[in-house]
Amino acid sequence: PAARSHPRTASRKRRREHSLTTFTLTFSASEGTIGAVDFGSSAAVGFFGELNQVNPFDLETIFDSVSDGAFLGDGANVLQDSQFLLAPGDITVIASAPGAAFETPFEDETSLRAVFDIAATESIELVQLVIPNGSLATFNGSFSVAVGDATPVTVPVSGVIPEPGTAAAFALLAGGAMMRRRHG
């Protein structure tokens, strides 16, 4: 799969006084379809860094399950929240077992993790990461990709989300995944 990120700059109203940049990562299979997403099956798998989290009215926002109206009603902005851009009704979330050493799905100010199945697709707008200007975020995960009737193959992906103003394209891991940034 290939990854692209698109930043938008926003100013923070809560918890931070400096500017933030919002990155949207879209992953695409160069051949076949994506059917499962793993960014949370172990403590080393997920999105990590100084991630901005906004939880209007103390609601969990791991997925795109809280309405924009709830964010606005709490004086917050959805563009300032790191979250997976899929609604729970559109995916099958695979939660960690009770008592597991780590929890998934999970979010805090340093990590965002989840494992889920999706309807087969060639491209997925997966996640919105919001990081302070000058900071970096990293990701490690994998996708299950099927080509025709063949058994799905697990394709690992990892990378770094750069600070605004850094070079625009990076080569990511074995699948030749690429990340692209556009100024918004």
Q: Average the pLDDT over 87-99 and give the result.
A: 88
Q: Average the pLDDT over 158-175 and give the result.
A: 49
Instruction: Work out the number of other CB atoms within 10 angstroms of the CB of residue 41.
Output: 17
Q: Looking at the predicted structure, is the pLDDT value of residue 112 above 70?
A: yes
DSSP 8-class letter at 162: P
Cβ-based neighbours of 93, under 8 Å, separated by 6 or more: 63, 105, 114, 115, 116
Whole-angstrom distance, CA of residue 157 vs CA of residue 173 = 6
Encode pLDDT of 128-163 as tens digits.
999 998 889 999 999 999 998 888 999 999 999 874
Q: How confident is the model at residue 51 (pLDDT cuts 50, 70, 90)?
A: very high
Return the higher-pLDDT residue of 31 and 3: 31
Prediction pTM value: 0.77
**Count of residues making up the chain:** 184
Under 8 Å between Cβ of 157 and 30: no
The whole-number pLDDT of residue 23 equals 92
Give the β-pairing of 19-28 and 2-11. Answer: antiparallel
Identify the top-confidence range among 44-48, 76-80, 101-105. Answer: 44-48
Encode pLDDT of 29-41 as tens digits.
989 999 999 999 8
| Mean per-residue pLDDT over the chain, rounded | 80
Whole-angstrom distance, CA of residue 155 vs CA of residue 134 = 30
* Structure token pair of residue 114: 């989840």
